[in-house]
Every structure is written in structure tokens, then in C-alpha cells.
Amino acid sequence: MTERLSEETRGPLLAPLFDTGWEMVEDRDAIRKTFVFKSFVEAFGWMTRVAIWAEKWDHHPEWHNVYKTVDVVLSTHDVDGLSALDAKLARKMDSLSE
């Protein structure tokens, strides 16, 4: 069962993500990041690769794509806030964007 991040686990899991451009969403226990690619095809290809992992882990992002830009928000709806799955998917998104 997925659990909401405790105060003790937030720092170690989220701090490295903040260093890569993730930020907290105001008025919500969620993180967000904007990814900008060279083209629409590159952005869509990245979304496809992320979708495969998201489906495998049964953890799906909130995202919005316009041309070469993808805005992402991660939060675990089952716990009404951030979980380890959000940090895991954020790390995977970062690695797939390199």
C-alpha cells in the first residue's frame, strides 16, 4: 500500500528533485516541473517513454503538452499528497529527458 510521505522522508526524497528543477505546487501536496524539448516529436517521444513506466508502476502523471513543452504535476491521489511513487516517477522523467 502506498503511503503519504512523512516529514522524515520528504527531505531525502524531494531535495534532489528540487535540485533538478522540480518545485512544490502552491496550495497542494504535489510537485511540478516544465520540460522543454527541441521539437514536438521529441516531447511526444519522451511522453511515450514515460507512459510505459507510468503504466508499469500504475502511477500516472497529470501533464499538459503544447508543442515542445510538457508541464507535469505529480501527486498520489490515493493518499491525497506526495508518496515515494511521485519521487520515483520524477527521477525517471528526469533520466528520460537527458
Looking at residue 78, which CATH number applies to its domain?
3.30.1360.20
What's the CA gap between 69 and 94, in Å, rounded? 14
Q: Is residue 55 part of a domain?
A: yes
The band of 1, judged by pLDDT with boundaries at 50, 70 and 90, is: low
Q: Is residue 13 part of a domain?
A: yes
Q: Is residue 38 part of a domain?
A: yes
Q: Is residue 50 part of a domain?
A: yes
Q: Is residue 1 part of a domain?
A: no
Q: What is the predicted pLDDT for the residue at 91?
A: 98
Overall number of domains in the chain: 1
Supply the range of the domain harboring residue 68.
7-96
Going by their DSSP bridges, the two strands 23-24 and 62-66 should be labelled as: unpaired
What mean pLDDT value characterizes the chain? Answer: 96
Amino acid, res. 20: T
Contact 82, 31 (CB under 8 A): yes
Q: Is residue 41 part of a domain?
A: yes
Q: Is residue 57 part of a domain?
A: yes
Task: Please determine, for residue 81, whether its predicted confidence score (pLDDT) is greater than 90.
Answer: yes
Q: Is residue 2 part of a domain?
A: no
Q: What is the predicted pLDDT for the residue at 10?
A: 95
Q: What is the predicted pLDDT for the residue at 2?
A: 84
pTM for this predicted structure: 0.94
pLDDT tens track for 7-46: 999 999 999 999 999 999 999 999 999 999 999 999 999 9
